[in-house]
Amino acid sequence: MLKIGMIDSGMGGFSVLKGLIEGGVNAEYYYLYDNKYHPYGTKSPNELVAIGYTNMQKLVEFNVDIVIIACNTLTSRAVSQLRGMFDIPIIGVEPPIKPATMQCENILLLATPSTVKSDRVMEMMHSFTNKSFYFPDMSKLANLIEENYSNKDIIYRFLADNLSKYKNIQGIVIGCTHYNFAVEEIQKIYPKAKVFSNTAGVVKRTQYIINKNKFIVPNYLAVKVYSTGNEIDIEKKYFLCDYLGLGIEFYENLK
């Protein structure tokens, strides 16, 4: 039966997992909650390749059929190298810059500094030099969401302080899967702007890979979450189960 591995430094990838579940992608999911190295956004490219390689090895041991790197930073900095190291389909998450440029002139790119500076993102933006891009400092947001997922007031205040100076924004590109948990707060600041997230793109690509490889899809869902560092606290476990709308098996300190 189809096994799908997922990698993120924390809960951000759950927004991708939710999209897959809502998109009807049944599978046995193995989610590496790599809190040992959270946040990825502050790591160097070499560190990220090493982290990605270690986590890929763990997922290969689970005999997964597909791996989804549910993190924009890890995708932008390491996915090309990892694809050359492993003979398994690897799906990444890229900021949906192109669709944003097709509809908007003034665009906020919300991403970690590592993602913004990556060659792939710079290449995409240089293809649309007639558009205006703005890059707020979001280096603290992923960690803020990880620690205050149930206190949206703290997240809103951070966003208001860091985004309110940008005027006439028409499009907002979500360039970190953690930020999907803050879309409601972002829309309060820019109620008329269109928010672009790449979750739907990952679902579409995953379905394509499944059909292309004729993987056998089960008629059930199972989600197993493996933290690599400290135990995920009980409140967050309940939150994530409620967010997905199903039970999750949690395992701690994966070596």
Annotated catalytic residues are 71, 176
b (16+ CB within 10 A) / e for 132-155: ebebbebeebbbbbbeebeeeeeb
Helix (H) or strand (E) holding 84: helix 72-85
Specify whether the CB–CB gap between 173 and 211 falls below 8 A.
Answer: no
Whether 164 and 134 have beta carbons less than 8 Å apart is answered as: no
**C-alpha span between 165 and 115 (Å, rounded):** 22
Nearest-angstrom CA–CA distance, 30 and 28:
7
* CA 123 – CA 184 distance, rounded (Å): 29
- CA neighbor of 26 nearest in space, from 216, 182, 237: 216
Residue 23 has phi, psi (to 5 degrees) of -80, 5
Q: Could you give the CA distance from residue 6 to residue 240 in angstroms, rounded to a whole number? A: 15
